[in-house]
Structure 1
Amino acid sequence: MDLDLVFSIASALALISWVVLFVFYENPVIYPVLLSGVIFFLAVLYLYFISVGLTEGGEGGFGSLDDVRQLFDSDHALLAGWIHYLVFDLFVGMWMANDTFILKINKWLLLPCLFFTFMMGPVGLLLYLIVRAIRIGKFTQYPFFRKSKKQLI
């Protein structure tokens, strides 16, 4: 399997998903489509490539930075790591977009948060948490996970 082709397909799929998420974030249909379609597909790709990458005989582990570097000596494991970023960043972006809708935060304030989440993960999340804190009037994110069932999509 051509790993560069898989990389390109996964990256393009993620980029398209981010654009769709921003444009259609108010439409509740987009969330199950992205979660059950794109994220599921990318997660299966991840599972395949991480399985191959970790069984190729490479050394490494999680005990030190050097151990982690050795884990990614395999191109399969490296591709899996990239897909890992794509999946989790998109999932965080979906949460932010849905939360923006619930809290009635201006769509244009969401745009830089999504952009930075796509490009630099935690930076975009941090930016969104600041925007969210300003909107709800306090920095403490509680009740971050305590939404009523009616508010969940």
Structure 2
Amino acid sequence: MSTLEAVFGMASILAFFSWITLFIFYPRKWIYQTLFSGVFIILALTYLFYIVMGLGGDSEGGFGSLAEVKALFGSDEALLAGWIHYLVFDLFVGMWITKDAWEKDINRWIVFPCLILTFMLGPVGLLTYFLIRGIKLKKLNQSPFHP
């Protein structure tokens, strides 16, 4: 197994168990501290290392077109960094969903499908949560910062 495959596996497993722990313990403040101060730092530093390795030097591509983005992630290191990027941001969104649901007294089992969808499909899970949140609050127009 290559180092990149090992890092991919470890990052994926860390994220997976973080999601499980988040669902089980989300009414407890320590889970957010652990994820912010532990998991995010580990994954962010790993991301930083591989994004520098993958995009440094002679990297091609850019953000101006789909073809440029494809070229930008042409190296395995950059692709791994992109995967870690997804893991971190989706987990952050999951943390926000659970905290918001807890504050708004939305049942954890109603939130559960939103978390699975966020873990697997990112924006679809967030959209699902916003629909549930809108029904609970009886408001179509919402803000993530106000009840």
- Tell me the TM-score normalized by structure 1: 0.92
Does structure 1 residue 110 correspond to structure 2 residue 130? no
**How big is each residue's C-alpha offset from its partner over 1:33-83, in whole Å with a ceiling of 9 and x where there is no partner?**
011100111011111100110014121000000000000111000000000
Give SS of 1:78's match.
Answer: helix
Paired residue for 1:18?
19
Q: What is the identity, as a one-letter code, of the residue corresponding to 2:126?
A: L
Matches of residues 4-153 of structure 1 in structure 2 within 5 Å?
Answer: 4-142=5-143, 144-146=144-146
Contact 1:56 1:74 in 2 (8 A): no
Q: What is the identity, as a one-letter code, of the residue corresponding to 2:14?
A: L
What is the distance in 2 between the residues matched to 1:140 and 1:108? 24
Contact 1:39 1:87 in 2 (8 A): yes
Sort the Cα spacing of 1:108 and 1:13 in 2 relative to 1 into closer, same or farther, 3 A.
Answer: same
Contact 1:53 1:77 in 2 (8 A): yes
Deviation at 1:134, TM superposition (A): 0.6
Paired residue for 1:151?
none
CA RMSD of aligned residues (A): 1.1
What is the distance in 1 between the residues matched to 2:73 and 2:105? 41
Residue identity (%): 54
**How big is each residue's C-alpha offset from its partner over 1:93-140, in whole Å with a ceiling of 9 and x where there is no partner?**
000000010000011011000000000000000000101111111011
* Count of paired positions: 146
Contact 1:3 1:79 in 2 (8 A): yes
Give SS of 1:29's match.
Answer: helix
**Unpaired segments of 5 or more residues in structure 2?**
none
What is the distance in 1 between the residues matched to 2:128 and 2:52? 34
Q: Runs of at least 4 residues of structure 1 off by over 4 A?
A: none
Give SS of 2:64's match.
Answer: coil
